[in-house]
Amino acid sequence: MHQLNALNDFVVRFANVNGTGSASANTMFAKAIFRMGIPVSPKNIFPSNIQGLPTWYEVRISEKGYLGRREGIDIMVSVNPQSMPKDIASVRPNGYFIYDSTKELHKEFIRDDIHYLGVPMMQMCMDKFADPRQRQLLKNMVYVGALAALIDIEIPVLQEIITLQFKNKEKLIEANFQALEMGATYVREHFKCPLGLRLERRDKVDDWIMIDGNTACGLGAIYAGATVAAWYPITPSTSLVQAFEKYAKKLRVDPATGHNKFAVIQAEDELAAIGVVIGAAWNGARSFTATSGPGVSLMSEFLGLAYFAEIPTVLVDVQRGGPSTGMPTRTQQSDILSAAYASHGDTKQVLIFPSTPAECFDHMAEAFDLAERLQTPVLVMTDLDLGMNDNMSPPLKWDDSRVFDRGKVLDEVQLEQLDKFGRYLDVDNDGICYRTIPGTHPTKGSFFTRGTSRDEYAAYTEDGAAYVRNVDRLLHKWETAKTYVPAPEFYQDEKQSAIGIIFFGTTTYAALEAVDILKEQGVVLDAMRVKAFPFNDEVREFVDAHDRVFIIEQNRDAQFRSLIINELDLRPSKIASVLNYDGFPITAETICNQIMESLIGKLSPAFVVHEAAPPSQSDVEE
């Protein structure tokens, strides 16, 4: 049998049982590779369950720095009998299947086109460790040790991570070291190490970090000066406010009194969560919530109020598979339309689309500035892939000279000098009016905030003309917003093709890889990453400059395509779609295939090659 050969370029998947402590071992594996200077992209594929169901951890290693998901498993580490048949089937021909050989593998599990590497993980742990719970945990470390020998992970790097993780717990460190060594020694004695798939130290990760998007968003809120967070637990956004709270407890406690410079409310539901945010923002505190699709649906009525009553509101939507409960632990970009037009009546909401943890951090800070500048809700649209997975990212950056843009808020002195305050007077002709915070001035600046129609002085009115003046001004403000929201990013200096691709958020990783692959096949594409809605002029110019435009997104109904056609009044036939919505992060292969199929009527040749067996130097013995 042939074997796969690749240096710093393959995919390892771990098949585990949920709740067995595998996450920590798997993370160590990915982190060790990262610390060897090799770009790595781990993804958790987990069930909606606490204990017992299958869970997977997939790590793509790519010297070229491609961080998108890749189809095909090169090495499968199987420690879950329940999912074994499926796991065996998912290994690429000539790939490796590493399993716990404490019990013999059933005959029907034997494929003749993959390599089986049995390691008696449980048996070794039974022989070595007394505590049953510890055996379970250390079994995970045994396979990490085995992998270290098989693909050349530097053992000292793993030891360093273990030492850090179990700081001051000498016994645990020692046990983990032993388990690691046991795994490595066993495979060295029984198989030819390393395999054709192996690692070699590089210097390709620069000063980057590995962090999940939710943590980065939570930190962004800390740095942006958010003081009130209200939320209701929902996967995959839960860890976002938890991260905010964790860092707030470290960084926002007055050392003199022990009192908190923040308040977190775990609300009774999403309606209350957004209500708290709106109340706090109305009263001059920076506040935010984080949720996912079902939460956005529940918050929609309030989002209409915030739009109409013009209250700065920051919401992070960590998208997951819908509709309804859908696939709560899988990723999608399927809230685009429900977020963009959230609420009844004529509403449009500002959206921002970060694609890396560093951008999550930056965009959070920007969202607070934008919300207060524009006096409207701003929805930061991430997804499960970005929010919950450790993503390689440039380091988070903050410039101490940066000031918070609190927007048009009148202080006591300004109010004192004012003859008559009109909350909804468009003084600057940009659609954005001046607001006041309760308690500012004893006799001036008070007004009545309402979701009903009002005149320029905030007085209730059912006069049609006053209503139209108001909603038209909101549209004027929407136009102004285009000059404030983040501009798109381009990946070519000047136009080089008649075909353009547009993408946003986590699709970026796979899209950029696809551009490279297609270029090798002679298909040159211009690429634009959209970072915000409303679409600014550069977005329109890009579309206008190309004959055909593909929009790559992760939902069934091509929601972003609908949005852009609607908002820019585009000819639909000019805009094609590349779609992925099975709950797994999109791959370059999907993008290449769909584009090539659309352009030339057949699949991209790049991926046909993948299925053929590459030449090998030697076979591996079992």
Residue 399 as a binder of another protein (CB under 8 A): the answer is yes
Residue 6 has a CB neighbour count (10 Å cut-off) of 16
The DSSP element (H or E) to which 13 belongs, if any, is: strand 9-17
Q: Among residue numbers 469 through 528, which ones bind another protein (CB under 8 A)?
A: none
Q: For another protein, which residue of 222, 315, 384, 620 counts as binding (CB under 8 A)?
A: 222
State in angstroms the smallest separation of the CB of 271 from another protein: 6
Q: Give which of 282, 296, 458, 438 is closest to 371, Cα–Cα.
A: 282
Report, in Å, the least distance between residue 346 CB and another protein.
18
**Contact pick of 52, 85, 395, 572 for another protein (by CB under 8 A):** 395
Binding another protein (rule: CB under 8 A), the pick from 54, 275, 321, 534 is 275
Which residues have C-beta within 8 Å of that of residue 140, sequence separation ≥ 6? 16, 20, 21, 22, 24, 25, 26, 79
At residue 480, what is the residue type? Answer: T
The DSSP bridge partners found for residue 500 are 526, 549
Q: Kindly identify the residues of this chain, within the stretch 230-249, that bind another protein according to CB under 8 A.
A: 230, 247
Q: Which of residues 7-36 bind another protein (CB under 8 A)?
A: 34-35
Q: Of 459, 474, 565, 568, which lies in the binding site for another protein, with binding defined by CB under 8 A?
A: 459
290-329: contacts with another protein (CB under 8 A) = 301-302, 305
Residues 407-446 that bind another protein (CB under 8 A): 436-443, 446
* Binding range to another protein, per CB under 8 A, among 97-105, 187-195, 255-263, 483-491: 255-263
Among 41, 62, 80, 227, binds another protein (CB under 8 A): 227
Lay out the sheet containing 91-100: strands in order across: 40-45, 54-62, 9-17, 73-78, 91-100, 115-119
Asked if 76 interacts with another protein (CB under 8 A), we say: no
Residue 118 makes CB contacts below 8 A (sequence gap 6+) with 98, 99, 100, 101, 105, 622
Cis peptide, bond prior to residue 328, ω within 30 of zero:
no
Count of residues interacting with another protein (CB under 8 A):
75
121 binds another protein (CB under 8 A): no
Closer Cβ to another protein, 143 or 288, answer by number: 288
> Is the Cβ of residue 71 or residue 405 nearer to another protein in the bound state?
405
Output the smallest distance, CB 211 to another protein, in A. Answer: 5
Q: Which of 460, 496, 498, 622 binds another protein (CB under 8 A)?
A: 460
| Among the residue ranges 170-178, 196-204, 260-268, 367-375, the one whose residues contact another protein (CB under 8 A) | 260-268
Asked if 46 and 75 count as a contact pair (C-beta separation under 8 A), the reply is no
Polymer length of the chain: 622
Residue from the set 88, 98, 179, 273 that interacts with another protein by CB under 8 A:
273
- Give me the 165-204 binding string for another protein, x by CB under 8 A, dash otherwise: ----------------------------------------
Q: How far apart are CA 397 and CA 220, in angstroms?
A: 10
Q: Residue 144, interface with another protein (CB under 8 A)? A: no
Pairing of strands 40-45, 54-62: antiparallel
E strand residue ranges, 193-273 = 197-198, 209-212, 228-231, 263-266
Lay out the site mask for another protein across 33-72 (x = CB under 8 A, - = otherwise): -xx-------------------------------------
Nearer to another protein, 115 or 441 (CB): 441
Residue 190 DSSP class: H
Indicate which single residue of 127, 233, 398, 483 sits in contact with another protein (rule: CB under 8 A): 398
Question: DSSP letters along 548-596, please?
Answer: EEEEEESSSS-HHHHHHHHHHT--GGGEEEEE--SSSPPBHHHHHHHHH
